Every structure is written in C-alpha cells, then in structure tokens.
Structure 1
Amino acid sequence: MTTRLPWAEARQAAHAAGQSRSLLPELLPLDKSIGRLLAVDVTTSIDIPHFASSAMDGWAVTGEGPWRVTRAGRRAGEARKVVTGDVVFDDEFAVLRLESGTTDEDILFSARLDEPRPGQHVRPTAAEADHGETLIRKGTLLNPAHIALAASAGIDHLEVSAEPGVHLLLTGDEVITQGVPGVGQVRDSFGVQLPAVLRLLGAEVRESSRVRDDLTATSQAIEESTAPLVISTGGTGSSSADHVRRALRGLGADILVDGIAMRPGGPSRIARLPDGRLIVCLPGNPLAAMVVAISILEPLIAGMAGRDPRAFDLTRGLHFEGRPGSTLLVPVQVRDQRPSPAAWRGAAMMRGLADADALLVVPEAGCGLDDPARLLTLPWRQASPAWLLGAR
C-alpha cells in the first residue's frame, strides 16, 4: 500500500516535473497570440501615437482667427483642411472642428467664442505611451485589445509561453460516445470537455485515443504516444480492470506522484517515462478528474511553459469540516465574496461544478468562519470570453 502524497506537496511535485520538461517560448503572429500567455514584457520602441494628429474633421489653424484657408496653411493667420487622423504640425495652434467653423470664400471664422483653444482636437504625440515604456506585462493572458495595442506599437509578433502538446488516452470499456447510455454504460464526459479545459490551462490536445481496459493495449498506447505530455483518464484504481499503474511499471516509468491525499481525486498519478515524456493519470470519475486537472495538472503545465502556477484567491465566511489525512476540494459558488458549497459534489457528479465559480481548498483541520480560506478560481470563470475557447 503506497502512501499518498499530501495535496500541497503534489502540486509542488507537479510543477517541478513540468519544469524538468520545460519548453521554449514561441514567437507567434499577433492574430495567433490571442488567448496565450505573454512570455516577456512588451515595450514600445516608438511613441504612441508617434505623431500629433487631428481628432476631428475640420481645419488646422495657426495663430488667431479669422484665418485664410490655403492648401499648405501653417503661417500665422492661415488654416488648412484636415480630416481625422491627419498630421498636425508643431507650429499649428489647434483644430477647429467642421461644425464649429464657417467660411466666406477663403476666409474661415469660428462660430463659437470658446473655440479653438490651444491644442484643442489634437491628439498629441506620446499621449498613450512614451517610447521605451512597457505596454503589456509578462504573464498577461492576451486578449484582442492587447493585440491591437501591440500593433499600434509597430509589433508584428509576440513571444508567448509554450503550449505543451497533449495526447489524451481515454479508457473505459463501458464508455459510449453518443446517445443515452444503457444499464452498465456511461456517457463519455472527458472527450467532450478536456480539450477545452486543457486549452484554458495552457495546453493543446493534439491527439486523442480510446484504449480498451487491457494491460497490453494500455501499455502500447502509452509507449507509442509522441506528445511531450500524455494524460490518461480512468484505470487508476487497483481493481482487475485498472491497468495504468502496472503499465507504467512495465514501461520502466519513474512514478513521481503515486496517489494524492485529496478528495476527490486521490488515485491519481504523475510519472516520467524513460524518454522524458510526462504522463498524468486522472481518475475515471468526472468530478475527481476535473479537480485533479485544475489543482494538480495546472501547475505541471505551468512548469512546462516556464511560468508559475496560478495564485490562490482568499476568502472568509465559510465553516467546513475537514477530513483527517486528506485535503478536500469543494466546488463553491461565490456571491458577494462569500462562498457557498455546491449541493452536488460526489466524485462522479458534474452538476455542482457546472454552476461553481471556484474550488474551496479545505485542509485536514477544516476551515472556520473567521479563517482565511484558499480558493482556486475555475479556469472558465477566470477566462470566460468565448474568443478564448475559439481563438485557435
């Protein structure tokens, strides 16, 4: 009987395992960088904007009016027509907007006593950023506005954290992939959700295979995978139908985490194969697998991508009994900064997680109303825009 590693130590071990298989950052075109994590600070080599321009359609005026409208303008008492975005030169006083000016032949008058004021309707140089200024910090989850900002600085590519490639191995002879399951069958809940979850955690599923509940088939599937990270579901127990641990031993894998003192999700494993590939073995119960993915698999992926694991949020105002020898991970809704445990939190239940905002981390001693408690925000609550799921 193996001793399960404490949950906090398993997180550390997962991150260290990922660091041992760290991947170099990627240089991607701007449009391919949306939804990725920035690997280095982005600074601008130019002022933004890099020239003064008109904020309105109208006339760039020099000196006091009335003004003579000429093609070139720029002399005292002259004006020239401009549209939004046109260059405004240093010696030009302001822009008189179209609706505030009147002309009599080639003479321009202001129709308002308070216009134009010095610099009015002019977008000055460096109003948004000075050259050399940091625009986007390392570790930022890039959204479309970040990409537009980078483009305005004349940047064409961004260096982003690596996105480890994943091979999913889905086990279970009782699993069906379509329709209503019969007695003794269960509907597949991993193949339809894990690719999106892994994308939110910073990895990409490049291959997915279904494996029979058979030792030879399990061993062969693991051995033949070429992805740097293999993730299996199910088969982590000790029954006659569970073959993952024996397959790892037979392949000469170094089992780094052989069970975790957590509920749900205790029978999970992390191993390193002889060629350096990593394998994370998730349990077969859906909630248990998701809890392990969010709390243990995430730091491993972060280590591979060369970044730190996600930080915890803190909360108070919830009493929850602990469980000796285990850390509990409880789906909770958070309303007005107060967490409320989900009613459905059995290892095979997804209903509670579906409406949850975070996982409450409950230590062995439990947590009291006045104790600071740790929360792991669910990745789809932390990064919920649809563009993140569909950006690539």
Structure 2
Amino acid sequence: MLITETMAGPRAGHAHPCHAAPSWAEARRLAYECAGPLPPVWVPLADADGRVLHRDVTALQDLPHYASSAMDGWAVNGAGPWLLPDPQQPGAHPGLATYGRLAPNHARVIATGGLVPAGAQAILRKESGEVVPGPSGSLLLSVGPGARADEPRRGQHIRPAGEEALAGDVLLPAGTVLNPARIALAAVAGHDEVLVRARPSVAVVLTGSEVVTQGVPAAGEVRDTFGPQLGTVLSQLGGIAGGPARIGDSFSEWLSALDTATAPDGGKADVVITTGGTGRSGTDHFRAAIGSLGGRILLDGIAMRPGHPAVLAELPDGRFVAGLPGNPLAAMMALLTVGAPLIAALGGRPLPAATDVLSGSDMPPDPGRTRLVPCRILSGLAFPVQHTGPGMMRGLAWAEGVMVVPPDGVDSGQPVPVLPLPWSPGVDMVPGTNPQGRSIP
C-alpha cells in the first residue's frame, strides 16, 4: 500500500497509524511506480559510453560514401598496359585522384582509402604492377611477373559506395547500450551527438555529528562509510552523483540541506539521498524537515530487515528524497530496495530483477518480515556470508548478491531470489567454487 500523506498539521512527520509497513516487494514496486522516465538528452559522442540510446542511430549517408581503394597501387581503366600521368602534372599527387575522369588505357597512383576516379575499372596492387619507360619519355604501367593470373579483374580491390550501409539504414537501434565500438560506428555514420535516456542526477546528504572522515575514530565517534562508496554505487545504479554534503544532527541543518541540495552541475537534483535521521528519536529529523518543506511521504518503513526504517518522500518541486538508515549495511539494503527502483524508473529502465538460485542453507522463518542476506554463489548454490549485522560491512565486502528470504524462510535446496550487487556480475554468471572445507567470510 502506498502512503501519500501530506506533511502538514499536528501529524506532520508520522505515517498514518492504520497503514502497516508494506512488504519488501510492495516497497520496490511503489518506489518504481512513483516516478516516470526523465526526458531524453543529447550527449556528445565523447560522453556517450555506457549510455542507452533513446533514438535509432542511422547512416546519414552511404558507408562508405564514395568508392574507395582497398589497396595501395594504381586505379586502372582498360586491359593495359596503361599510360601514367606525368609526375610533374599539376594535381598529380600520389594517392589523390582529384583531377577528372580516368581515360581508357590510363592509370593513376592511388592509396588505400583513396577516392577511385570515375572511369576506373579496378585497382592493381602495388606489388602486382611494374612501371617502365614509354614512348616520348612517358611512363607505362603493366602487370608485373608477381601478379596473380586474374589481376586486374573488373571491380577488384574497389570498395563500392554503400558497401557497409546505405543512407537511412539503422545501425544502432534504440535501447542499445553504447560502447566504444558503437560510438565509433555512430561517428562513421556522421553523428556528433546521440539522443540517450537520461541518467537521474542525485544529491547526497550525509548526516551525523559523530562521523569522522579520516583516521581511526575515537570512542563515541564512527568512521564515515558512506562518503567513499555511495557516489560510486549510485553511478553503478544509473545515477549521476556529486560530492556529498555533510551535516550534523540539528533540524535547521536538515532543513537547509534538503532545501538547497542540488545536482552535480548545480541545477535541481532529481533525487536526494540522505543517510540517518529516519528513526523516531528526538534527533531524527527526516520527516519533520520534509513536512516543513511542504513535501509528502510516499513510503514510511518497510517490513524487512535490515533497513526497515527507510523512507521515500517527494518535495513540491518534484525532487524525490530517499532516506536511508544510518547503519551502513541497513542503508545499502534500503538503497537496493528503494533507491535502485527509483533511479531505474527515472532512467527509463526496467525494475531490477532478482534471479532464483538454490539455497545452500536452511534459512529460518522471520514472520512478517523479508530478510536481505548478503551471500556468495558457490557451486550454483547461494550461501549466506558471515558478519551481516546492520552496522557491519565485512560480510558485504565479500558478497556477490543478496538473498531475499521470505517471511516463511527457505529450506536448503529450495530456490530463493537473489539480487546481484551493483558492483557484481549477474548471479548466474558468478563462477562457483566448492564450499566444502572452507569458511565463507
């Protein structure tokens, strides 16, 4: 069920009490369906790697757009021998056919890729020809002793115009993920820019007056775990994130940070990601700040662990705000549950899918809650890793996916959905090893 309470009046900051927390699957679906694709954008080819085409890339002219030579040698007309032009003739530059039609029984020097002159019937390779003096000081080209028996046959070593594609042919259809080779093809086709699906811009607000960003934290302090990795994860999910803003735990700091959060380019961010402040203690100001800005809560808590205090809201200017818990593993699980579907929807991509994998362990029930358990894929089986408390990162550091364990649990040998981590390949592509006799980190 979708919670869409306007944050105003005496109940500001609180979900309606009659609404039970949605299930993990419901929360993902709601986060995906609350947003639509952003308008596509034009990007220069140099910035197009990894982007998804919104519009077909077609050939703007024939490829190649002129008949060209496939060899260094001579363009020839007739059966030979052929008369070569005077090397001193204006415009008779080796490899350039810029001076008129090639007359019968004449030849011109041409380089690989050079424009084949009108009238040329074939290209005689450099190693297959022999130049000898002709009458009155002229030069004659003849077929040399090293030539093949069929040289030069009509059309030989000429790349005709349109051999690769004709003008208007679709070279890269919409939906194609661009890579360097495909970008090069777009350039060959005459394009300087391509129309691609937008990547949502993401502003990051990290909270906590006890957080330190360098060195070993003292008692009462915690080392920042979000700053070094959250921007990278958001990029892997399809967003564009800038450097994080860091604030303390006061309401005024929260209010100012949410009000001024901007995209990396200085414009309006599509999504704001916050960490901490989603509980219900006196220092948790997420909901109150959203209410003061006139926003509305779309999702308040999820029946899952870790990460159940995740909140999703929308501000009046159209920005979405995803509030992640302060514990690092809980925050990552909430990001996969709420942030990943939201970014996918804004980017015009499908809801990230889980893959069924056989469980290698018995996972006991946890009535009413879905458990997200970092796992390894070993010999085709999903095994939970150790060290997966809400505030731990050690287990996630060695995981390849996340088991989505239903409230009823799952027995060993039964299928369980597994989400790949943003930095890992799909779970069906993870190489398996024999788990016997080794400890899973």
Structure 1 counterpart of 2:62, which letter? D
> Does the 8 Å contact 2:203/2:261 carry over to 1?
yes
Deviation at 1:260, TM superposition (A): 1.7
Aligned mate of 2:179, from 128, 131, 143: 143
> Does the 8 Å contact 2:359/2:415 carry over to 1?
no
Distance 1:68 1:247, change over 3 A: same
Give per-residue Cα distances to partners, 1:20-43, cap 9 Å, x unaligned.
Answer: xx5322222222333333222222
Deviation at 1:59, TM superposition (A): 2.4
The alignment status of 1:229 with 2:271, answered yes or no, reads yes
Q: 1:124 and 1:313 mapped to 2: Cα distance?
A: 49
SS of residue in 2 equivalent to 1:260:
coil
The alignment status of 1:361 with 2:376, answered yes or no, reads no
- What is aligned with 2:391? 348
Structure 2 counterpart of 1:39, which letter? H
- What is aligned with 2:353? 312
- The equivalences for 1:182-193 within 5 A come to 182-193=218-229
- What is aligned with 1:133? 169
- The equivalences for 1:35-114 within 5 A come to 35-64=50-79, 67-70=82-85, 74=102, 77-88=105-116, 92-105=120-133, 106-110=140-144, 111-113=146-148
Q: 2:421 and 2:257 mapped to 1: Cα distance?
A: 30
Which shifted more, 144-153 or 105-114? Answer: 105-114
- The equivalences for 1:191-210 within 5 A come to 191-206=227-242, 208-210=244-246
The alignment status of 1:293 with 2:335, answered yes or no, reads yes
SS of residue in 2 equivalent to 1:221:
helix
> Does the 8 Å contact 2:360/2:381 carry over to 1?
no
Distance 1:229 1:90, change over 3 A: same
Deviation at 1:372, TM superposition (A): 5.7
- What is aligned with 2:48? 33
Deviation at 1:287, TM superposition (A): 2.4
The alignment status of 1:242 with 2:277, answered yes or no, reads no
TM-score scaled by structure 2? 0.75
Deviation at 1:17, TM superposition (A): 2.3
- What is aligned with 1:388? none
Structure 2 counterpart of 1:112, which letter? A
Structure 1 counterpart of 2:29, which letter? Q
Q: 1:79 and 1:336 mapped to 2: Cα distance?
A: 67
Structure 1 counterpart of 2:197, which letter? S
- What is aligned with 1:389? none
> Does the 8 Å contact 1:18/1:299 carry over to 2?
no
Q: 1:112 and 1:269 mapped to 2: Cα distance?
A: 77
> Does the 8 Å contact 2:312/2:338 carry over to 1?
no
Give per-residue Cα distances to partners, 1:264-289, cap 9 Å, x unaligned.
Answer: 32211101123332110011122222
> Does the 8 Å contact 1:54/1:121 carry over to 2?
yes
Give per-residue Cα distances to partners, 1:78-134, cap 9 Å, x unaligned.
Answer: 432211211235754443333344433422325132555665444333333332222
- What is aligned with 1:260? 302
Structure 2 counterpart of 1:10, which letter? A
SS of residue in 2 equivalent to 1:329:
strand
**Identity of matched residues, %:** 45
Q: 1:119 and 1:294 mapped to 2: Cα distance?
A: 59
Q: 1:201 and 1:351 mapped to 2: Cα distance?
A: 22
Distance 1:68 1:349, change over 3 A: farther
Q: 1:371 and 1:93 mapped to 2: Cα distance?
A: 70
Aligned mate of 1:220, from 256, 259, 274: 256
Distance 1:191 1:69, change over 3 A: same
Deviation at 1:257, TM superposition (A): 0.8
> Does the 8 Å contact 2:80/2:141 carry over to 1?
no
Structure 1 counterpart of 2:182, which letter? H
> Does the 8 Å contact 1:52/1:125 carry over to 2?
yes
Q: 1:222 and 1:203 mapped to 2: Cα distance?
A: 18
- What is aligned with 1:24? 39
The alignment status of 1:15 with 2:58, answered yes or no, reads no
Q: 1:87 and 1:161 mapped to 2: Cα distance?
A: 38
SS of residue in 2 equivalent to 1:230:
strand
SS of residue in 2 equivalent to 1:28:
strand
Give per-residue Cα distances to partners, 1:25-70, cap 9 Å, x unaligned.
Answer: 2222222333333222222232222223223322234455555445
> Does the 8 Å contact 1:317/1:369 carry over to 2?
yes
Q: 1:112 and 1:339 mapped to 2: Cα distance?
A: 64
- What is aligned with 1:277? 319
Structure 2 counterpart of 1:42, which letter? V
- What is aligned with 2:419? 376
TM-score scaled by structure 1? 0.83
SS of residue in 2 equivalent to 1:27:
strand
Deviation at 1:357, TM superposition (A): 3.8
> Does the 8 Å contact 1:318/1:339 carry over to 2?
yes
After TM superposition, the runs of 4+ consecutive aligned structure 1 residues lying more than 6 A away are none
Deviation at 1:382, TM superposition (A): 5.6
| Runs (5+) with no aligned partner, structure 1 | 384-392
| Runs (5+) with no aligned partner, structure 2 | 1-16, 86-91, 134-139, 263-268, 427-441
> Does the 8 Å contact 1:166/1:207 carry over to 2?
no
Q: 1:158 and 1:47 mapped to 2: Cα distance?
A: 19
> Does the 8 Å contact 1:61/1:80 carry over to 2?
yes
- What is aligned with 1:6? 23
Distance 1:345 1:76, change over 3 A: farther
Distance 1:139 1:295, change over 3 A: farther
Distance 1:366 1:139, change over 3 A: farther
Q: 1:90 and 1:312 mapped to 2: Cα distance?
A: 57
Deviation at 1:203, TM superposition (A): 2.3
RMSD: 3.2
- What is aligned with 2:9? none
